[in-house]
Structures are given as structure tokens and as C-alpha cells.
Structure 1
Amino acid sequence: MGRHLRSWVTGRPPVGDTSGPEAATVVLEDPAFLDALLGSDAVGPRTLVLAPAARDGRDDGSGATVVGYEGSLSGSEGDASIGDVLFLQSQDYGVSPYMSLLGTTLVRVAGGTDFEMFLADADAARAEGGFAPFTVSPAVQIADLSALGARVPGDGPGTRLYVDRDGGVSVSPQGLRLGSAGDPAAALHAAWRRLNAAGEAGGAVPLGAVLPEEVRGPAVLRRPWLARYLATLDLLRDLRTRGITDPRVSGFGHRLVPGLDAVDGALDTDDPEAPFLCWTSDKAYVRVPGDDRIFQLGRRAAEITEMLLVLGSAEAVCAYAEGNAADTGSGPVDRAVVERVLAFFADRGAPLASGAPVLEATA
């Protein structure tokens, strides 16, 4: 249940889900439209349908699983419960800094003011390295990530649908209308593609009903690093579950190696697929996107890793260290040491990669 709800809120396909034309998760605001939905091919055996006060069970016609809930999953402020299994609250982004987190919390951008606050927090994190505390809480899920600049290739009617009180269908409560309950999956997918293509930045649908595209699109385009920022929030939430709090993150207001912040064209600047390096006063950590493992490194290995992520190759690291010994404070770097760092990650099935080229050990 939690896996499907996280997917429906964020737009990321459920972990382990097999894609198809039908939606993985559907939330209805009014059970009056349940029969129309179940009679369409927009749902199927892989679909979880959440409907108010519905009787739990599998629909004989579509094969979809129907589960009832109480409260509201669509409002920007409110609470919802699903049986005795899951309780969650929803709130606007703008009020989240002032609210206590009492459990799983869905944070939504519900309009222009929320969007401005989201951008201000992202800009501050990028420039100064400070992250708004609620955004890195493990209890929080920020909604509609593709509209906020994240790379979410699976978002769309094949991952999530929302049916409002009038029977209108979108991917989220704040999204542009794709059709009506009962419409075929092909029509919903076609509307998704058409509406998204109208926006220059991608992600035009999920917030299109509450945020004009002429406001959202240019703001996202001016910040090509938003995808990496949102991926960093995921990393920091994960670290908190492991008891690691308030680390500094390379590229967000800080570099571990002095002088690297002045390098133009750093390869890890915008790419959300580039590995992340962060550190506390006594330890350093690396996370490779798509890998649940977090690697703990010694200080020297962490410095070399950061240079690799910024510069892109063992040759560039050695040349940089030799030419900037005064700035780095560490003197020249032995090529063999750099190769050992690369081999460390490669041997563990998590090779360092940052944009292009792929970083590989040559020995």
C-alpha cells in the first residue's frame, strides 16, 4: 500500500512494477465513478484503486484491486487512513516549515506561492548548502516531482490517475484534465503526451491546473540542476534513517576539496544520475543513484572521489592536483591511488559515472 501511494504522489512507478497501458494506482474522490472506471481499460490486474468507503476486494471484470479509504487523499490539507494499515496527512508546501510532522506527510505545491517557496529553498540549498528541515525528513514525500524539475520518465497515466468529484481524470489533484472516468487508456495517454508537449520544460500536466505554464516552465528551465536537488533530498532522507544528520553535500554550497568549487563545467553539477558525495566532521559517504548502498570512505579516498566526479577522469584529476596543489592543500595525486579508488567502486558493482565519460579503472 505504501509503495503504491508513494508512486501515486510522486509520479515514480512503483518499485518492481511492470509497465502497461493501465494505471498502476488510481485514486477516486467520489465512489460514484468507480463502475465507469472499472469498465474501462484504464485499469487492469496490476492496478490498485483507492475509493472512499469502497468495499475491499478484486474486481471480477477488470482484475483491479479495490481498497477503501477514509478522509482525503487529494486535498492539500487533511488526513486520510486506509484501514488500520496506513495513516497520512497532506499539507501545502508553504505551510510545511511551520507544521509538526506527526507521521507520513504528503507535501503538495498547490499554487504560485508554494512554487515560489519551493524555488527559494532549492536556490538556497544550491548556493549555501542548507536544506529546509522538513524537506529532508524521512516522513515527507514531495508530490508531483516531474513538474518540479525531476527526471521521472515513468510518470503519466500508466503510473497514476486521479478522478475528481466531477469524474474528470488527471494524474494528480492539481493536474490538467486528461479525460473522464470511463475513457480508454489510449485516449488518456494521448492527452498526456499532447499536453506535456506544449510545455518547454516537460512536466506540464501534474501542476497545470494550479500553476500557469508560463510561470513554471521558465523557472524550471533556468534551473537545470533541480533534478539533482530533488535526488539529493532523497539521499538526505535516507541518511537520516541511518542516523546520519546534517551532512554537507558536494556541489551544494560546499566542496570537500578546496578550489573545486571554482571549476567551470563540473560534471556533477546538474546530472541527477551522477554519484553523490557528502560528509560530516569525521566521515564521508558516497551514494550511486539506483543503488541502495551507501559507501563510507576515508578522507583521502573521498577527496579523490570528489575530484573524479567533478573532473571526469584519472588523467584530469592528476593534472588538476599537480597544477593546483596550493588550492587543494593536498599536493600531487598518485595515479595508482586514483585507479584504486575507481577499482573500489567497480569491484562492488557501482562504478563511478558522471555524465560522460564513464569513469573506469584502467588497471
Structure 2
Amino acid sequence: MVDHHTSLAKRHLVSWGTGTRHRQAADAEPAARPGALTVVLEDAGLLPAVLGGDLAGPHSLVLAPGVASSPLEGPEPGSPVVVGYEGSAAQPGDELSIGDSFFLQTQEYSASQFMSVIGPTLIRVFDGSDFAAYLADADRARAEGVFPAFATDPVIRLADLPSLGASPAADGPATRLYADADGTVSTAPGGAALGSAGDAFADLLGVWERVNKDSAHPCAVGLGATVPEAERCASLAERPWLGRYLAALDALRELRARDVSHLRVSGFGGRLSETAEPVAEAADAHGTELPLLLWNEQGAYVHSTPTGRFFQIGTDAARIAETVLACGDAETAAERVDAAALAKVTAFFERAGVPLTGRTEAAR
């Protein structure tokens, strides 16, 4: 039973820590019913208030320190699953453990390059210096193609991605909640307060929606108590490509886990093909709708962020794919590459459901 609890908690903690929806975290969209997919409590004394209200629903997993884990189907039909843990996931240097088989470390961003990675680690922005270090690493990757090695380690995850430039669509109280020792609730340990553990889910959701409605760059909640909102928004506005940078980190991390290394990422520090550069206002300059192209001396990979799929292709095909990605449409790309080869490459990705222009034939 412990192994099942651990496996379930690991999937939920990925979603909770990053602010994104893990594909296996739940079998239904949480927005259809009250309660967060994952709730992490710093104090077990808050458990009665959470279970007695609607912050957690039948689809929820609640992590509380020092308590016994409930059966996987919940203590009663339609009740949340409770998993006990030791430690904490709120401060740099903290470690959250479930049983004796899973340990999640928490580390501040600015110190991560100097730390040895031992196991699963969640890297957070805890203050302004962490945020500045994150931006500096992103800027270097964009200009030089050099990504921070620690951030591409397969056991590393960056926390609060929607507040760092990723899409905020999956974040919010329906995905995650965190209650500190005083019972103050946010979506993350460094987040803006949404209410308290005894509040109704609808009230917390209403506050979250209002805060983000007033922000030029949601999510404004995840780092709301950590980085001044004006500073965060200005930094993201200057770097509209940050979402693509974060997607590139995910792709590099996944391929590194498959023993694929020394990769370059198209659009970050250069291109593979001269036919893809220079392209004024390249279609793949920002956003994650268009696939990413990565390559090394052995070959190339096309990665679809929305689906999580990877395609390994030859270098010649990669040059054509990259040109289409940069141009934004096959017609413009045809002015730069061989038309017959272009048709074959684009048709392959169309059939795979990952069009290089972000549009399917049916939508054209």
C-alpha cells in the first residue's frame, strides 16, 4: 500500500510543485467539481477544516505531516485520499519524505548551480535574487544556446512555472493549494494569500481570478509574496519567449533521461540550417504551440509540447522542419528549400497530428 501511495503522491507533487497539469495526476478535469487536485498542508491540525469543507473533493489528494495515509479509495466513498508525510516542501533546504522510499528536496534557484543533485528536487524562486538568477540563465540560453545544466537534470523540476512565463491555463486552485502552518492558503508556498483553510473553494477561486484579472502576465499568484508584481510583469514582457524556454528545458530534461545529450535548441543561440535564419519575426520565436527542434551530432528531434511527443528525424529533414517552423507556413518555406522534400516532411508531421505550422489541413 505504501508503494501505491508513494506513486500517487509523486505524480500529484509534480503537478502541485510546477503549477501544471500532470497527464496522469487525475482521470478527470478538476474544474468540473469543487476542490483542488492536490492540497499540501504544513500542519496536520488543518486537516479537519480541509476535509470538513470543499477545498478537497473526491478527486483530491491531500498531503499532511505526521498522519496515517488513508486507503487509496478514501476512508469513505467519495472522500479525498490523505497521504502522510514528514518534513516540509516550503523552505530552501527542506525535504519532504513519504515513507522510506520517496524524498523530495526543495532548493532555492540561485544556489542550485552549486548544489549536488541527490534525488528529486523542486527548485523555487524564493526572493528577488533567485528571480534575477532565473532571468540571467534564460537570457544566456536565448542569446548563446547555453542552458543551465542543473535545470536539465531529469530529477529536477522548476516550481511555479506559470509565474515564470509558462501558460497559466492549467494553474489555479483547481490544480493545487498550499496551506501554511497558520492556515493561510495560496497555490504555492511563495504565493499571494487567497484565504484560509476553512474558506469555501469558490471564495478562494474568486480571489485567484480577481488577482490574475488585474495582472498583465498571469499567473500573478504563484510568486505573489515573493517577487513584486510590477517587476515580474516587466521582466516577462521583455521576454515573451520565456514559455518556449521553459518548454525547451522540459524537452532537454526528457531527452537527457533517455541518455541523449549535447543538444542544441533551434532559436536559442542560433539555428541548425541557414535556410531558417535569418527569418524576420520568426513564427517559432515564442509560444509553445509550434514544436521545438533539437539536435546534436547524431541527429535531431522534433518535440510537441502540447502532446509531449518526440520524433527522431535525420538532419536533412530537420533542416526543412526548422525552416517551416521559422517561416510559419509551407508556402514561405518553399522559397528556401526543395519543394518535393518539403512536401514529404510536412506531410509526415501532418499525419502524426503535429503540424509544423500549428495548423491542421482541416483548419486551413
Q: Is the 8 A contact 1:38 1:62 kept in 2?
A: no
Q: Shift of the alpha carbon at 1:273?
A: 1.7
So what's the TM-score if we normalise by structure 1? 0.92
**Which residue number corresponds to residue 327 of structure 1?**
none
Q: Could you tell me which residue of structure 2 aligns to residue 30 of structure 1?
A: 43
Q: 1:281 Cα deviation (Å)? A: 1.4
**2:7 maps to 1:5:** no
Q: Which residue of 1 aligns with 2:142?
A: 126
2:276 to 250, 256, 260: 260
Residues 211 and 125 of structure 1, relative CA distance in 2, 3 Å threshold:
same
Following superposition of structure 1 onto structure 2, how do residues 313-332 of structure 1 map, counting pairs within 5 Å? 313-319=329-335, 321=336
- The one-character-per-residue Cα deviations of 1:43-63 (angstroms, maximum 9, x if unpaired) are 111110100101111344860
Larger CA deviation: 54-63 vs 104-113: 54-63
Distance 2:228 2:298 in 1: 46
> Distance between the aligned counterparts of 1:111 and 1:62, measured in 2?
39
Q: What SS does structure 1 have at the residue aligned with 2:85? A: strand
The answer to whether the 8 A contact 1:275-1:352 is kept is yes
SS in 2 for 1:156: coil
Partner of 2:206: 190
- After superposition, the C-alpha distances for 1:43-86 in whole angstroms (9 at most, x for unaligned) are 11111010010111134486011111001111122112111331
- The answer to whether residue 259 in structure 2 is matched with residue 243 in structure 1 is yes
* Shift in Å, 1:41: 0.9
- CA distance in 2 between counterparts of 1:175 and 1:301 reads 44
**Match of residue 326 from structure 1:** none
Higher mean Cα deviation, 217-226 or 61-70? 61-70
Q: Which letter does structure 2 place at the counterpart of 1:123?
A: D
Deviates further, 9-18 or 107-116: 9-18
Distance in 1 (CA, whole Å) between partners of 2:352 and 2:126 is 42
Amino acid at match of 2:305: P
Matched, 1:162 2:175: no
Deviation at 1:314, TM superposition (A): 2.4
What amino acid sits opposite 2:346 in the alignment?
A: L
3-state DSSP class of the match of 1:54? coil
State which of 64, 67, 73 in structure 2 corresponds to 1:54. Answer: 67
Write the deviation string for residues 229-283 of structure 1: whole angstroms up to 9, x where unpaired: 0011000001101111121110000101126332111000002121111111131
After superposition, the C-alpha distances for 1:319-355 in whole angstroms (9 at most, x for unaligned) are: 2x2xxxxxxxxxxx3322211111111223333234x
Is the Cα–Cα contact under 8 Å of residues 342 and 359 in structure 1 kept in the other structure?
no
Tell me if the contact between 1:41 and 1:62 (Cα under 8 Å) persists in the aligned partners: no
RMSD value, Cα: 1.6
CA distance in 1, matches of 2:277, 2:139: 16
CA distance in structure 2 between the partners assigned to 1:5 and 1:37 by the alignment: 18
Cα distance in 1, alignment partners of residues 329 and 133 from structure 2: 38
Deviation at 1:214, TM superposition (A): 1.4
Q: Give the gaps of 5 or more residues in structure 1.
A: 322-332
**Among residues 8, 23, 26, which one is paired with 1:15 in the alignment?**
23
Q: 1:131 to 1:315 in 2, by over 3 A?
A: same
Residue identity opposite 2:343 in structure 1? E
Q: Is the 8 A contact 1:168 1:181 kept in 2?
A: yes
The answer to whether the 8 A contact 1:41-1:185 is kept is yes
Normalised TM-score (structure 2): 0.91
Q: Is the 8 A contact 2:109 2:126 kept in 1?
A: yes
